[in-house]
Chain A
Amino acid sequence: MIQHNLPDMIYKFLLGISGLSAIPDFLLVTASYLIPSAAVLGFVMFVSGMLTYAERKVSADIQNRIGPNRVGPFGLLQMLADGVKLILKEDIIPDAVDRKLFKLAPYIVFSGTMLAVTVVPFGGPFIVADLNIGLVFIIVVSSLIVVGFLMSGWASNNKWALLGGIRSAAQIISYEIPAALSLFTVVLIAGTFSMQKIVMSQGPYPWDWFIFHNPFTFVAFFIFFISSLAEINRLPFDFPEAESELVSGYNVEYSGMRFALFFLAEFANIFISASIAAAVFLGGGNIGLDPYESGIGFQLVMVLIFFAKVVPLCLVTIWIRWTLPRLRIDQMLSMCWKYFIPMSFACLAMTAIWMLVFNGNGIFWRMNG
């Protein structure tokens, strides 16, 4: 049987080393799903830590400053120092809050983020769960975050927090639509929702990528990228936290580890949106080989290729943050409803027509022979 996901491979491996009888089967199954999940969790925490570092370094470079350079070589261990600081901080729960919701909210935000990671194809076989509805799953769980934001905003019993929560609901729900529509252009071409299959149906070279499949996917890529900025509350769409208007928005009452969870989720979101963009539009970790059958060396190369695409996208996200000022909230909504939704819908429709007219071939289809 062809192994078509990571848990199966781990299961086979565990079965191989444990012998047939010793351990009950359900334990092995649980373990084979838990191991990649835990690994991905740890990995994403690491990545979001590195992103905080990158954010501070890039912002410093852009503003002619130096940025963190004291902890460890080039300040690389700054995130450890930050983490320790946040853990040691007193965890304050204000008197007037709704205690249950207040405590629950960060976990909902965090788990919404982490759920999205499970279907991100890290290149090669490294995808925790290759769901056949992967793309839809990402769209759905990323809107789960809204619930957490609203919950924290409401439970904080603070007008800024509440405004932040409401803004995030308005924003994330409206930008969900262009993001989803622009992702669906790719679904029209690939004919599947599975992230791994979408990656596999692209090729190693730029002209094989879906972004260059036709002019409309090219536009769709940018629409997706910008609306994902809005979905993850990055500038120029950071209304839910808008430091200068809402102090810090929905997380204003949080401190210590609970705040750190919001923070981690936020930076993990940058990574996730960058990796979705890389996997769906930029060919992910595809190097033209089968991700399951090729050797471990090639698989690692695939991971490298994937990150070579994700890291620049993350940097662009940060770069945008330090360039553009925040829009006004009505501008943000009119941008979504007047520009992005019609455009992404047009892209979807035109891609469908393109597929009919050109028989499913991209502009560069001749290059592929």
Chain B
Amino acid sequence: MVTVREYFGNITNAVRTTYKGMKITLKYWVKEPSITVEYPDRIGGLRSEDLVSERFRGYLKVETSKCTGCLLCMRVCPIDCILIEVNRRDDRRYLDRFDIDQAKCMYCGLCVEECPSAAILFSKKYEGACYDMKELCVSHVSSPVPAARPAKKEAPE
């Protein structure tokens, strides 16, 4: 008797569980919209930068007008991917070179934290595919620019 009950129990179980599963997939088939983002060419008029979160760490960007040329970022970088040359001419300090090798950079953010004038920041750019790895070494200074003067330290209260 037990085996008979088990036998038909198996059949009803099979039918019931199959029905349950099929109902779930039907729901997903008919109702649930797709969540695919058709990157890169059909993203609804957005830019690729808009797809990432607020705190995304993309390529580093440098605002040379703010940079004081203190070289803190270059020193703090654990893998030496920043190279800055600062030269003094006519009583002014000039940024002659500011290269960041994005191929080496591990986006640790130490340079961003360290910069006293918030000149070096993460951008949201991440589409950096290129044919030669050397292209990933980005120069942020093409012709010498005068370094900014450091802001006066606010007097402690």
Q: Measuring CB to CB, which residues of chain A are less than 8 angstroms from any residue of chain B?
A: 58, 60-66, 319-320, 322-324, 338-339
Known interface pairs A319-B26, A324-B21. Does A65 touch B11 (Cβ–Cβ under 8 Å)?
no
Q: Are A63 and B28 in contact (CB under 8 A)?
A: yes
Residues in B neighbouring A60, C-beta threshold 8 A: 34
Residues in A neighbouring B35, C-beta threshold 8 A: 64
Q: Are A323 and B34 in contact (CB under 8 A)?
A: no
Residues in B neighbouring A65, C-beta threshold 8 A: 34, 36
0 or 1 for each of B11-39: is its CB under 8 Å from A? (1 = yes): 10000001001101110111011111010
Residues in A neighbouring B21, C-beta threshold 8 A: 323-324
Q: Are B29 and A319 in contact (CB under 8 A)?
A: yes
Q: Is the interface of B mostly helix, strand, loop or mixed?
A: helix
Closest to B20 in A: A323
Known interface pairs A323-B21, A324-B21. Does A62 touch B36 (Cβ–Cβ under 8 Å)?
no
What CA separation (Å) do A339 and B30 show in the bound complex?
Answer: 32
From the candidates B7, B22, B24, B32, name the one contacting A64 in the complex (CB within 8 A).
B32
Closest to A339 in B: B11
Residues in B neighbouring A319, C-beta threshold 8 A: 22, 25-26, 29
0 or 1 for each of B127-153: is its CB under 8 Å from A? (1 = yes): 000000000000000000000000000
Shortest C-beta distance, A318 to chain B (Å), equals: 10
Residues in A neighbouring B48, C-beta threshold 8 A: none
Known interface pairs A323-B22, A339-B11. Does A58 touch B29 (Cβ–Cβ under 8 Å)?
yes
Shortest C-beta distance, B32 to chain A (Å), equals: 6
Known interface pairs A324-B18, A339-B10, A339-B11. Does A62 touch B25 (Cβ–Cβ under 8 Å)?
yes
Residues in B neighbouring A322, C-beta threshold 8 A: 25
What band does the interface of chain B fall in when counting residues whose beta carbon is under 8 Å from A?
10 to 19
Shortest C-beta distance, A162 to chain B (Å), equals: 31
Q: Are A66 and B18 in contact (CB under 8 A)?
A: no
What CA separation (Å) do A331 and B140 show in the bound complex?
Answer: 66
Q: Are B29 and A62 in contact (CB under 8 A)?
A: yes
Closest to B30 in A: A61
Residues in A neighbouring B10, C-beta threshold 8 A: 339
What CA separation (Å) do A62 and B35 show in the bound complex?
Answer: 11
Further pairs besides A64-B36, A65-B34: 6, Cβ < 8 Å: A66-B36, A319-B25, A319-B29, A322-B25, A324-B21, A339-B11
What CA separation (Å) do A322 and B28 show in the bound complex?
Answer: 11
* 22 A-B contacts (beta carbon < 8 Å): A58-B29, A61-B28, A61-B29, A61-B30, A61-B34, A62-B29, A63-B28, A64-B34, A64-B36, A65-B34, A66-B34, A319-B25, A319-B29, A320-B22, A322-B25, A323-B22, A323-B24, A323-B25, A324-B18, A338-B7, A339-B10, A339-B11
Shortest C-beta distance, B29 to chain A (Å), equals: 5
- The interface centre, meaning the residue of B7, B22, B28, B29 with most chain A CB atoms within 10 A of its CB, is B29
Closest to B35 in A: A64
Known interface pairs A320-B22, A323-B21, A324-B18. Does A66 touch B28 (Cβ–Cβ under 8 Å)?
no
What CA separation (Å) do A224 and B24 show in the bound complex?
Answer: 24
What CA separation (Å) do A319 and B35 show in the bound complex?
Answer: 20
Closest to A69 in B: B38
Known interface pairs A324-B18, A339-B10. Does A64 touch B25 (Cβ–Cβ under 8 Å)?
no
What CA separation (Å) do A339 and B10 show in the bound complex?
Answer: 9
Shortest C-beta distance, B3 to chain A (Å), equals: 11
Residues in A neighbouring B32, C-beta threshold 8 A: 64
Shortest C-beta distance, B23 to chain A (Å), equals: 9
From the candidates A62, A320, A338, A339, name the one contacting B28 in the complex (CB within 8 A).
A62
Shortest C-beta distance, B22 to chain A (Å), equals: 5
Q: Which 8 residue pairs are nearest across A and B when measured between Cβ atoms?
A: A323-B25, A66-B36, A61-B29, A323-B21, A62-B29, A66-B34, A62-B25, A62-B28
Shortest C-beta distance, B80 to chain A (Å), equals: 43
Shortest C-beta distance, A342 to chain B (Å), equals: 9
Shortest C-beta distance, A324 to chain B (Å), equals: 6
What CA separation (Å) do A183 and B135 show in the bound complex?
Answer: 69
From the candidates A63, A64, A324, A338, name the one contacting B33 in the complex (CB within 8 A).
A64
What CA separation (Å) do A36 and B25 show in the bound complex?
Answer: 39
What CA separation (Å) do A61 and B22 show in the bound complex?
Answer: 14
Residues in A neighbouring B38, C-beta threshold 8 A: 66
Shortest C-beta distance, A315 to chain B (Å), equals: 9
What CA separation (Å) do A122 and B7 show in the bound complex?
Answer: 39
- The interface centre, meaning the residue of A63, A322, A338, A339 with most chain B CB atoms within 10 A of its CB, is A63
Shortest C-beta distance, A274 to chain B (Å), equals: 17
